[in-house]
Amino acid sequence: MSNTSISRISLPQVRSFRLNGEFSRRVLLRVLANMEVGSLTIHEGGKVIRLGETGNPDAPHAEVHVHDPLAYRRILTGGSIAAGESYMLGDWSTPDLTQVTRLFCANMAMMEQMDAGQSWLVRMGLKLAHGLNRNTRDGSRKNISAHYDLGNDFFRLFLDPTMMYSSALFRDAAMPLEEASVAKLDEICRQLELQSGDHLLEIGTGWGGMAIHAAKHYGCRVTTTTISREQFDHATARVKEEGLEGCVTVLCEDYRNLRGSFDKLVSIEMIEAVGHQFYSDYFRRCSALLKPEGKMVIQAITITDQRYIQARDSVDFIKRYIFPGGCLPSIAVITDHLARDTDMQMVHLRDITDDYAITLAHWRERFMSRLDAVRRLGFDSRFIRMWEFYLSYCEGGFRERIIGTVQLAFAKPGYRTARPSGS
C-alpha cells in the first residue's frame, strides 16, 4: 500500500501570540467547568483537577492525562477539532477515550462554547477546504478513495468476515459481531420483501456483503455499484469465489449514471457521502430506477433535526480527517426530499442507534488489538491515534444519541405488501 493516505494528513497549527499557556489553561478550565452532565478528572504533572459531578453513575466520567500544556492553547483556539488533533500529536492521553468523547457529546453547550473560541482564520480555512470536497462526480471519487482505498487489508483487520462497514443488528450485547452483521442483512432483505424473481439494485457496494447475501440466500438477481476501486476489486473477487457471477453484477459507476428498471433498491450508509447539495439528485435517481411497484430500503447515519443546519455548515473532526465531503442528513431532511423529489412514501422506520455503538466498540477493540499489523501496512502512530479517536468519537456520539442510525423503507405508488405463497 502506498503511503499517500498517511502523508496527506496535516495538522494545521494555530499560532497565537496573544495567548500564553497559563492564560489559555485558565480560560479552557473555566469553559470545562460549565459541564452539566458527568465529570472530568485532569492529571497534569503532580496536580489533579476534578470538574463536574460524580453522583450519577450512568453519566460519563472521564479521565485525562495532559502531557504537553500546549494542548490547552491548541484546544482553546482550535475547538473540538483541535482536541482530536492534540490527541493525535500525543499532547494528552486517557485510559478510556470513549468516555471522553461521551462526556463532550453529553455536554453539547460546553462543546459549542469551546468551538466558539476557534480562531476565525482556522474556521474559514476549514470551511474553504471542505468546500473543495463537493461530491460532484469527480469529487465523489476522490472523497471515497481518500477513505475506502486505504486498502482492503487494512479494513480486514477490524471488520468481521462479512466485511460489512455499517451498523450490525444485535439481539443482545453479547451477540458476536459477525452474527449481528448477518442479522442486519437478513432484516434489510425482509424489509425489501425480496423474492427470487426480483432484480435488486444496490447503491454503495462496500465489499460485496449485501449483494452476495441477497443473491445467495434469497435467490434474487443483484446489480451493485461502487466508486471505490479497492472495493470494486474485492467485491468482484468475492462474487467469483462464491460462484455468483450469473446472479451478481458489480459496477464501478456513480449512482447518477445508472440506468434501468429494478424491483427493489438498497443503499446501506451511503447517503452520508452524497452531500447536502446533491440530495435531490440522489432521491430522484433512486425513484426513477425503481419500477412503479418497487420498494427501497436505506440505512442511514443521521444527525438530530435540531442540529442539522449547524452540523451541515460546520467542519468537525470527521469531515476534516476521516470522511471528506461527508454530511449527515436528518430524518426531517430525508422525508422532505422524499416528498419533494420522489413519488414514494415511507412505510417503515427502525432506530438502531444503540446497535451502532456496540458495533463501533467491536471495531475499536479489534483495531486496537492488531496495531502491529496496522503498522506493518505502513501506518504510523499518528494515523493510529487518529483512527482510535475516530472510532471512539463516533461511539460516544451514538451512546449519547447526538447522532443516530435508522433503517428506512420507502415504497412506490404501485407497491403492495407481498402476500405469503398460498394465501
Q: What is the tens place of the pLDDT at every residue in 322-371? A: 988 889 999 999 999 999 999 999 999 999 999 999 999 999 999 999 99
CA distance readout (Å), 180 to 51, 59, 162, 355? 38, 27, 10, 9
* Alpha helices (H) along 149-204: 152-156, 177-192
Q: Are residues 278 and 364 in the same domain?
A: yes
Question: Which of 418, 421, 405 has its CA nearest to residue 184?
Answer: 405
What's the start-to-end Cα distance of the chain, in Å?
55
Assigned domain for 422 exists: no
Task: Looking at the structure, tell me whether residues 167 and 292 fall in a common domain.
Answer: yes
Asked if residue 210 and residue 295 are part of one domain, the reply reads yes
Q: What is the pLDDT of residues 383-410, one digit of tens each?
A: 999 999 999 999 999 999 999 999 999 9
Q: What is the mean pLDDT of residues 408-416?
A: 97
Residues 61 and 157 in one domain: no
**Same domain? 349 vs 277:** yes
Same-domain check for residues 204 and 339: yes
Which of 121-130, 239-248, 366-375 has the least mean pLDDT?
121-130
Mean pLDDT of 98-114: 91
Q: Is the same domain home to 112 and 146? A: no
CATH number (domain holding residue 309): 3.40.50.150
Is residue 12 assigned to a domain?
yes
Name the domain boundary from 128, 153, 185: 128
Highest-pLDDT range among 273-277, 282-286, 307-311: 282-286
Residue 420 lies in a domain: no
Residue 66, domain member (yes or no): yes
109 lies in a domain?
Answer: yes
Same domain, 228 and 343: yes
pLDDT grade for 97, boundaries at 50, 70 and 90: very high
Mean pLDDT, rounded, for 129-134: 58
In-domain check, residue 39: yes
Query: Do 236 and 271 belong together in one domain?
Result: yes
Residues 147 and 119 grouped into a single domain: no
81 and 148 part of one domain: no
Return all residues near 316 (Cβ < 8 A) that are at least 6 apart: 80, 81
Total number of domains in the chain:
2
Given a cut of 70, whether residue 277 has pLDDT beyond it is yes
The domain boundary, picked from 128, 147, 166, lies at 128
Among 70, 104, 128, give the residue marking a domain's end: 128
pTM: 0.90
The answer to whether position 333 is within a domain reads yes
- Same domain for 152 and 123? no
Closest CA to 220 of 196, 203, 240, 202: 196
Provide CB contacts within 8 A for 263, sequence distance 6+.
195, 197, 198, 199, 200, 290, 291, 293, 294, 295
Q: In this structure, is residue 419 part of a structural domain?
A: no
**What is the domain extent for residue 145?**
137-411
CA 295 to chain centroid, in Å, comes to: 25
What rounded mean pLDDT belongs to the chain? 90
